[in-house]
Chain A
Amino acid sequence: MELNGGSVVAMVGKNCVAIASDLRLGNQALTIATNFEKTFPITDRIIIGLPGLATDVITLKERFRYRVNMYTIKEGREIEPETFAHLVSSTLYERRFGPFFVEPVIAGLTKPSEGSVPFIAGTDLIGCLTLPKDFVVSGTASDKLFGMAESLWEPDLGPEELFETISQTLMNAVDRDAFSGWGAVVHVITPDKVITRTLKGRMD
């Protein structure tokens, strides 16, 4: 985790969810790139965040794309967030004794016919799921993210308030972490659209 650095956070709002990641890719203390997004769209209503070893981040992004495509073809419908979380869990547990070094965060909304209920989940590197009601943090700044999220998050935030909350949480957490930062990307998933914004951050 400390080899490449990087952090991700997801939060629940009122009929919306947000997920955000920093943009740094490093080799220990040396920054290699400042455009490395760790969030990847799975469907129009699900986004996964994959902080950790960068090679596994890319490998898993590709593997999830393959598995979700296979699911969509076999089932003839889009995957639901909860199902996808279990797919992530089993994909990681397949490598129980030689794991992928990532700690995924999943954010999504259930289908509109089921009320667009917010869903967030996190797993450890071998796929142990956690399903909190408020927020999930992950990556090298996870301890700082816990502190920020714990003090800023409140229930029933609308899309714009949630955007502000998650942005402030991430920015202030990564500024105290040497392995994360260099800007961030924030996605807010609402029933009718995904709002994506790129943030500038401290460059030190």
Chain B
Amino acid sequence: MECSFALVGKGYVLVAADTTAARSIVKMKSDEDKTKVLSPHLVMTYSGEPGDTVQFAEYIERNIRLQHMRNNHELRPQSSAAWIRRTLADSLRSRHPYSVNLLLGGYDEATSTPHLYWIDYLGTIASVPYAAHGYGSYFALSTLDRYHNPAASLEEGLRTLRRCIDEVANRMAIGVGKFKVRVVDKDGAREVELPPSVSVA
């Protein structure tokens, strides 16, 4: 069961995606990276129809890179989000639409603020403090409603993310496996390790 989470903290955005590649009930791979670093201060997670996902993510990645090279300046998160949304919205009313859901996290160097966008395959976009895609969203959003703090340190943010993943692991009928976590802040995007899970009574 594919799922991805993201949350905003004090000066950073955390994004996480599960790492299983499954076909029907068969797990084909357990270390699939469903995140992409689009530019130094922009990361995204992608999920949806197999085939569409990688194709679309690479298309986005290369175009954001092209924009960076042409202008010698990276596209800001708001502008990147608007362009990605438009690409999906145009695709929706084409002969073969992409079926890809995204969480886009970025750090705007001009205003020193983190941004998080929830984008679905229809081209719906929402600027949110925390977000989730997939079945995991039914469990994780309640956890985030309770524990999310926009002024939290990175350590605290990672602990909240861990709570979400543990909640999903606890309550979902099918296991989700390991998660790949990336953070983006003023120093750029990088991979981070989740803290160990704390057992809940």
Q: Taking beta carbons and an 8 Å cutoff, which residues of A are in contact with B?
A: 4, 25, 27, 30-33, 35-36, 53-55, 58-59, 98
The count of chain B contact residues (Cβ–Cβ below 8 Å) is: 18
* Residue from the list A33, A36, A55 in contact with B89, Cβ < 8 A: A55
B67 within 8 A of A: no
Instruction: Determine how close the nearest CB of chain B comes to the CB of A103; give it in whole angstroms.
Output: 17
Given contacts A33-B126, A35-B127, 19 further A-B contacts (CB under 8 A): A4-B124, A25-B126, A30-B137, A30-B141, A31-B141, A32-B118, A33-B118, A35-B126, A35-B128, A36-B126, A54-B122, A54-B124, A55-B85, A55-B88, A55-B89, A55-B122, A58-B89, A59-B89, A59-B123
- In angstroms, Cα B122 to Cα A41, docked, is 24
**Neighbouring A residues of B118 by C-beta, 8 Å:** 32-33
Q: Known contacts being A32-B128, A32-B131, A35-B127, is A98 close to B120, with CB within 8 Å? A: no
Q: What does DSSP make chain B's interface, helix, strand, loop or mixed? A: mixed
* Residue from the list B123, B137, B138, B141 in contact with A58, Cβ < 8 A: B123
**Ordered nearest first, which 5 A-B pairs have the shortest CB separation?**
A33-B126, A55-B123, A54-B124, A55-B122, A55-B124
Q: Known contacts being A58-B85, A59-B89, A98-B93, is A27 close to B120, with CB within 8 Å? A: yes
A-B contacts, 25 listed (Cβ < 8 Å): A4-B124, A25-B124, A27-B120, A30-B137, A30-B138, A30-B141, A31-B141, A32-B118, A32-B126, A32-B128, A32-B131, A33-B118, A33-B126, A33-B127, A33-B128, A35-B127, A35-B128, A36-B126, A55-B88, A55-B92, A55-B123, A55-B124, A58-B123, A58-B124, A59-B123
**Neighbouring B residues of A30 by C-beta, 8 Å:** 137-138, 141
- In angstroms, Cα B138 to Cα A54, docked, is 20
In B109-160, the 8 Å CB interface with A consists of 118, 120, 122-128, 131, 137-138, 141
